[in-house]
Amino acid sequence: MTALAKLFRATAFKLTLAILGLSALGAGLVLGIVAWQVIKLVDEETKQTIEAEANGLAEQYELGGVRRLDSAIEARSREPGSTLYLLTNSAGEPLAGNISQLPPGVLDHVGFVDTTYEATDASTAGRRALARIFALPGGFHLLVGHDLSDRARIGAVMVRALATSLIFLAGLAALGALFVARRVLRRIDAMNSSARAIMAGDLSQRLPVSGSGDELDRLALGLNEMLARIADLMMGLREVSDNIAHDLRTPLTRLRNHVEEALRQDADPSAYRAALERTIEESDGLIRIFDALLMIARAEAGADRAGMSAFDVGGVVTGVTELYEPVAEEKGFEMTVAVSPGLTMTGNRELIGQAIANLIDNALKYGAANLGRGGRVHVVARREGSQIVIEVADHGSGISNADRQRVFDRFVRLEGARSRPGSGLGLSLAAAVARLHGGTVRLEDNAPGLKVVVTLPARDPALAPPPAQAQAAE
Amino acid sequence: MRILIIEDDRDAAAYLVKALREAGHSVDHAADGVSGYDLAHEGGYEVAVVDRMLPKMDGLSLISALRAQKNETPVLILSALGQVDDRVKGLRAGGDDYLAKPYAFSELLARVEALARRRPKGAPEETVYRLGDLMLDRLSHKVTRAGEEITLQPREFRLLEYLMQNAGKVVTRTMLLEHVWDYHFDPQTNVIDVHVSRLRAKIDRDFDAPLLHTVRGAGYMIRDGAR
């Protein structure tokens, strides 16, 4: 597309055309009203002049009849000026005056009349005049009039003024359009080239912002925020895939080493069997890590939102706690649970169950007093306003303030925990599940120990009445 | 038992056919949805194992079509999508059980056998399970062994009930978690083992012949060793 074609297609250009049209209309209207007023004034004055002239002639007529009037008109007609006279007899023949020709029948219209005429000096033809016609006794007609060329001239001046101002207006508008369009187009072109650079893979690029705070700037700022968010997500994704590569590589290497080692030795069938069983165990571990990562990714992408329904969180907390109770007892823990009734929320029961299981599992793994054996784990589920709060508290060594944010990252395992089985994904998954449901997970000091607090939005009965209510009302 | 396998992956199918035959079953295989539907529609299979992603007709459509034809062959859905939603979708389409790939063959075998044992619709339900001298009354929630009453927690009762329902067959840990606790997530720890050993302590400890056995690499089985 050529630069000119681009200019003509630009919004700024179209806008300028519209403005030009409107201002031309405005100018025409103003000039038209002025012209109309001026012409009205001129007509008014002309009528007064005709009136005065007629009065003078009426005096002459009273003094000496038609003869006196005739000579007065003869005398006045010879004076220079634009006053017109005509006296005719009953046959319609001109007796005196400076008009040689009139359209037929004009003299029959007694009173003011706007007509064309021809003067006796024949200098001009087809001029216009405003005239007053008088009928005198004896069939005589008298016309006193005034030439209207002044009025026509004023009209012409007005038209010329309008045309001139329109030319200037058009020039100004074209200049403005050129300026605005070039300015806007240049900025849009700059934005376009930035966008292309970003599409080409340079996510650090941003759209230019002029600093004027106009619509284009606001658009660029909005798009830049979006780009920042995308860059964040991409970074997170890259980090995750790096972590996955690293954390799956380690167990994969271990698995491969074990198999190779078993192959190298001339072992008896039972040793081969043991090696194979171990291989299966390790691949199962890999699958679990993979499933957990997938679950986190899906929860973070909000992919499981469709499968949500109303369920009793209290029941899930009680159920999961009961599921772990024998394990807790075996490990020497005393596990207590306090669940308030009526904790209904909308969500994915399986994911919430998995999150609670992860937290209890963590408490039983790391919550032993002095990393020894046994301890106390307290699980609470209650309602706080519009929130459901689930707490899993232990009396272990806790997590230091510095590490409390870090442990939510995938695969992060603190010192002292690395030697134990686990993937470092439990808290990440719990946090992702909470986020999916519009909630949070935070870590608090249980003095001593760790208290994990999960906050989830409760189902508001006013917003979505459960169908059970209708049945209960029957 | 006659089993139909509908799976397009040649290796996976060959492995399944071989392993199920070794387990003593008669196995037919179809490599796409349409031929699979035709075989299943002819009937005569006790269980069908259906992969979700199939050429020509996907697994879920195949199951829906079978159910629409009033074909009630129990179906185990195999899927590479192991997520909660996919499971729900599969069961809603008319599947009877769902197993995510990759799976342990012991898990698949246990589930296939559990499906085949399903009581036909309308058949009266047993109210008392007996196994050797162990008796479980589902109505009065009473358990006795050799006439002695054994007190069980409600969850232990349901655990034993499920095991006895599948007496003589392997029941895996995930099957127990699904049927006794109604959870489908990964419990991280050997929680089920601890529950089972508690139950075992109550029903087996004071008696000579153990009934509740651990099947290595697979799960648990309750059977009367004397028979």
What are the tokens at B58?
Answer: 């996907």
Q: B215 in helix, strand or coil?
A: strand
Residue-level pLDDT at A467: 42
Q: Answer whether residue A459 shows pLDDT above 50.
A: yes
Q: Answer whether residue A434 shows pLDDT above 70.
A: yes
What are the tokens at A219?
Answer: 């658009």
Average the pLDDT over A397-404 and give the result. 76
- Determine, for residues B181 and A319 on separate chains, whether the beta-carbon distance falls below 8 Å: yes
Question: Best interface-test mutation with A: which of B156, B177, B182, B185 has the largest number of A CBs within 10 A?
Answer: B185
pLDDT in tens, A69-105: 888 888 888 877 778 888 888 877 888 888 877 887 7
Is the Cβ of A347 closer than 8 Å to some Cβ of chain B? no
Question: Bigger pLDDT: B186 or B16?
Answer: B16
Q: B113 in helix, strand or coil?
A: helix
Is the Cβ of A277 closer than 8 Å to some Cβ of chain B? yes
Whose CA is closest to B4, among B78, B93, B57?
A: B78
Residue-level pLDDT at B117: 66
- Determine, for residues B104 and A284 on separate chains, whether the beta-carbon distance falls below 8 Å: yes
Helix axes B154-165, B191-203, angle to 10 degrees: 90
Q: Answer whether residue A19 shows pLDDT above 80.
A: no
- Determine, for residues A291 and B181 on separate chains, whether the beta-carbon distance falls below 8 Å: no
Question: Best interface-test mutation with A: which of B188, B195, B196 has the largest number of A CBs within 10 A?
Answer: B188
Is the Cβ of A294 closer than 8 Å to some Cβ of chain B? yes
Residue-level pLDDT at A460: 56
- Nearest chain A CA: its distance from B152 CA (Å): 14
How far apart are the C-alpha atoms of B18 and B5, rounded to whole Å? 11
- pLDDT classification of B118: cutoffs 50, 70, 90: low
Is the Cβ of B127 closer than 8 Å to some Cβ of chain A? no
Average the pLDDT over A221-240 and give the result. 81
Average the pLDDT over A229-241 and give the result. 77
pLDDT in tens, A340-362: 888 888 888 888 888 899 899 88
Is the Cβ of A323 closer than 8 Å to some Cβ of chain B? yes
Q: Answer whether residue A328 shows pLDDT above 70.
A: yes
Whose CA is closest to A399, among A355, A363, A360, A423?
A: A363
Residue-level pLDDT at B44: 83
Question: Bigger pLDDT: A150 or A420?
Answer: A150
Residue-level pLDDT at A420: 63
- pLDDT classification of A10: cutoffs 50, 70, 90: low
As for the ipTM of the complex, it is: 0.81
Residue-level pLDDT at B160: 92
Residue-level pLDDT at B124: 66
How far apart are the C-alpha atoms of A25 and A122, rounded to whole Å? 41
- Determine, for residues A287 and B102 on separate chains, whether the beta-carbon distance falls below 8 Å: yes
Residue-level pLDDT at A124: 61
**Could you give the domains of chain B?**
2-116 (3.40.50.2300), 128-222 (1.10.10.10)
Is the Cβ of A291 closer than 8 Å to some Cβ of chain B? yes
Chain A contacts of B194, Cβ < 8 Å?
Answer: 326-327, 330
- pLDDT classification of B181: cutoffs 50, 70, 90: confident
Question: Bigger pLDDT: A374 or A464?
Answer: A374
Average the pLDDT over A279-286 and give the result. 83
What mean pLDDT is reported for chain A? 80
- Determine, for residues A304 and B85 on separate chains, whether the beta-carbon distance falls below 8 Å: yes
Residue-level pLDDT at A469: 38
Question: Best interface-test mutation with B: which of A287, A304, A316, A329 has the largest number of B CBs within 10 A?
Answer: A287
Residue-level pLDDT at A473: 36
Which strands form B2-6's sheet, in the order they lie side by side? B26-30, B2-6, B47-51, B75-79, B97-100
Residue-level pLDDT at A373: 66
pLDDT in tens, B46-88: 899 998 888 888 888 888 888 888 888 889 998 887 666 777 8
Q: B89 in helix, strand or coil?
A: helix
Is the Cβ of B84 closer than 8 Å to some Cβ of chain A? yes
Helix axes A349-366, A269-301, angle to 10 degrees: 120
Q: Answer whether residue A462 shows pLDDT above 60.
A: no
- pLDDT classification of A465: cutoffs 50, 70, 90: very low
- Nearest chain A CA: its distance from B100 CA (Å): 10
- Determine, for residues A323 and B187 on separate chains, whether the beta-carbon distance falls below 8 Å: yes
What mean pLDDT is reported for chain B? 85
pLDDT in tens, A23-52: 888 888 888 888 888 888 888 888 898 888
Is the Cβ of B154 closer than 8 Å to some Cβ of chain A? no
Q: HEC states along chain A? A: CCHHHHHHHCHHHHHHHHHHHHHHHHHHHHHHHHHHHHHHHHHHHHHHHHHHHHHHHHHHHHHHHHHHHHHHHHHHHHCCCCEEEEEECCCCCEEEECEEECCCCHHHCCEEEEEEEEECCCCCCCEEEEEEEEEECCCEEEEEEEECHHHHHHHHHHHHHHHHHHHHHHHHHHHHHHHHHHHHHHHHHHHHHHHHHHHCCCCCCCCCCCCCCCHHHHHHHHHHHHHHHHHHHHHHHHHHHHHHHHHHHHHHHHHHHHHHHHHHCCCCHHHHHHHHHHHHHHHHHHHHHHHHHHHHHHHHHCHHHHHCEEEEHHHHHHHHHHHHHHHHHHCCEEEEEEECCCCEEEECHHHHHHHHHHHHHHHHHHCCHHHCCCEEEEEEEEEECCEEEEEEEECCCCCCHHHCCHHHCCCCCCCCCCCCCCCCCHHHHHHHHHHHCCCEEEEEECCCCEEEEEEEECCCCCCCCCHHHHHHHC
Question: Bigger pLDDT: A126 or B37?
Answer: B37
DSSP B178: I
Residue-level pLDDT at A182: 76
- pLDDT classification of A415: cutoffs 50, 70, 90: low
Whose CA is closest to B4, among B53, B43, B54, B34?
A: B43
Tell me what percent of the residues of chain A surpass a pLDDT of 70.
87
Tell me what percent of the residues of chain A surpass a pLDDT of 90.
3
- Determine, for residues B183 and A353 on separate chains, whether the beta-carbon distance falls below 8 Å: yes
Determine which of A119-128, A430-439, B161-170 has the lowest per-residue pLDDT on average. A119-128
